[in-house]
């Protein structure tokens, strides 16, 4: 059985995901042990499959254990620390990229009044979940998907996450659920499931046609 390194703090995958500094930490740990324990927190935990893929892809190692937000990354039998890749350290935090506007004034498929109504409905609904800063969000996507089976709009309370993380969570959920963020306000995320009922009724109607 492979032992994982216990010396010092384990590499940490935070809201920025797999970073240069984290990769360097992993290779430093691999000099002393065959495997390293990695703890994932924050926005990155919304998509653990993505974290695992990039860790294996960028290090050449293999995930041999995965439990919620804890991973153990094995370096491989033929790992040679002298052949480790040269990873430039990020000595400063790069400027945040400019993304397209996440929330449109009028949600696609709705009128202005309908969009306004959906936002108010979301703001006055009980929160589906309360997310904490640098928490573990591995079950958020599934909970939102499950809620959308009976609800049009859900609210996530991110009042302790910070505005930046709040928007990152919204963007991730938009792509993973998928859904449409219709409001970020006071660190609350309002998500709309889209016009699925209409699509389902059309599909059911088409399926009932004689062949």
Domain containing 127 — which CATH number?
3.30.110.60
Q: Over the stretch 119-138, which tens digit does the pLDDT of each residue have? A: 999 999 999 999 998 899 99
196, 169 in Cβ contact below 8 A? no
d(CA 26, CA 12): 10
Q: Over the stretch 154-164, which tens digit does the pLDDT of each residue have? A: 999 999 888 88
Asked if 174 and 120 sit in the same domain, the reply is yes
Residue 167: give the domain boundaries: 112-198
Give pTM, 2 decimals. Answer: 0.78
Tokens 């709705």 correspond to what residue?
Answer: 110
Predicted confidence (pLDDT) at residue 88 exceeds the cutoff of 60: yes
Asked if 193 and 119 sit in the same domain, the reply is yes
Higher pLDDT, 102 or 87: 102
207 inside domain: no
94 — pLDDT class (breaks 50, 70, 90)? low
205 inside domain: no
The Cα-based distances of 70 to 38, 66, 115 in angstroms read 6, 6, 39
Q: Over the stretch 133-146, which tens digit does the pLDDT of each residue have? A: 889 999 999 999 99
- Mean pLDDT of the residues in the chain: 83
Asked if 120 and 184 sit in the same domain, the reply is yes
206 — pLDDT class (breaks 50, 70, 90)? very low
Other CB atoms within 10 A of residue 152 CB:
17
Of the candidates 11, 48, 18, 16, the one whose C-alpha atom is nearest the C-alpha of residue 138 is 48
14, 164 in Cβ contact below 8 A? no
The Cα-based distances of 131 to 42, 43, 168 in angstroms read 9, 10, 13
90 inside domain: no
Last residue of a domain, one of 50, 77, 104: 77
What integer is the mean pLDDT of 53-66?
92
Q: Over the stretch 9-41, which tens digit does the pLDDT of each residue have? A: 566 665 667 888 888 889 989 988 999 999 999
Asked if 65 and 120 sit in the same domain, the reply is no
What was the pLDDT predicted at 176?
Answer: 95
The Cα-based distances of 48 to 38, 141, 158 in angstroms read 12, 11, 20
- Torsion from C-alpha of 142, 143, 149, 151, nearest 10 degrees: -150
Asked if 133 and 192 sit in the same domain, the reply is yes
Asked if 72 and 122 sit in the same domain, the reply is no
102 inside domain: no
Structural domains counted in the chain = 2
70 — pLDDT class (breaks 50, 70, 90)? very high
What integer is the mean pLDDT of 46-50?
93
Asked if 119 and 73 sit in the same domain, the reply is no
Predicted confidence (pLDDT) at residue 48 exceeds the cutoff of 70: yes
Q: Where are the alpha helices (DSSP H) in the chain?
A: 20-30, 48-59, 112-123, 140-147, 163-176, 196-207
What was the pLDDT predicted at 184?
Answer: 93
Asked if 192 and 125 sit in the same domain, the reply is yes
155 inside domain: yes
d(CA 16, CA 36): 19
203 inside domain: no
139 inside domain: yes
> For the chain, what percentages of helix, strand and coil (3-state, to nearest 5) are there?
35, 20, 45
208 inside domain: no
């Amino acid at each position: 059985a492979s032992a994982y390194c216990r010396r010092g703090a384990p590499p940490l995958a935070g809201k920025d995901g797999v970073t240069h500094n984290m990769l360097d930490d992993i290779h430093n740990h691999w000099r002393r042990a065959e495997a390293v324990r990695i703890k994932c927190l924050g926005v990155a935990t919304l998509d653990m499959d993505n974290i695992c893929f990039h860790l294996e892809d960028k290090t050449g190692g293999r995930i041999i254990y995965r439990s919620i937000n804890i991973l153990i990354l094995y370096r491989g039998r033929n790992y040679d620390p002298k052949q480790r890749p040269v990873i430039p350290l990020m000595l400063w935090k790069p400027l945040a990229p400019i993304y397209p506007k996440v929330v449109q004034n009028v949600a696609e498929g709705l009128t202005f009044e309908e969009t306004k109504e959906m936002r108010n409905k979301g703001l006055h609904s009980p929160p589906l979940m309360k997310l904490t800063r640098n928490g573990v969000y591995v079950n958020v996507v599934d909970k939102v998907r499950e809620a959308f089976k009976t609800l049009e709009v859900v609210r996530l309370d991110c009042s302790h996450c910070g505005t930046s993380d709040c928007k990152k969570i919204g963007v991730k959920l938009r792509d993973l659920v998928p859904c449409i963020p219709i409001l970020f306000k006071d660190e609350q995320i309002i998500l709309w499931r889209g016009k699925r009922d209409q699509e389902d009724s059309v599909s059911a109607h088409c399926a009932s046609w004689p062949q």
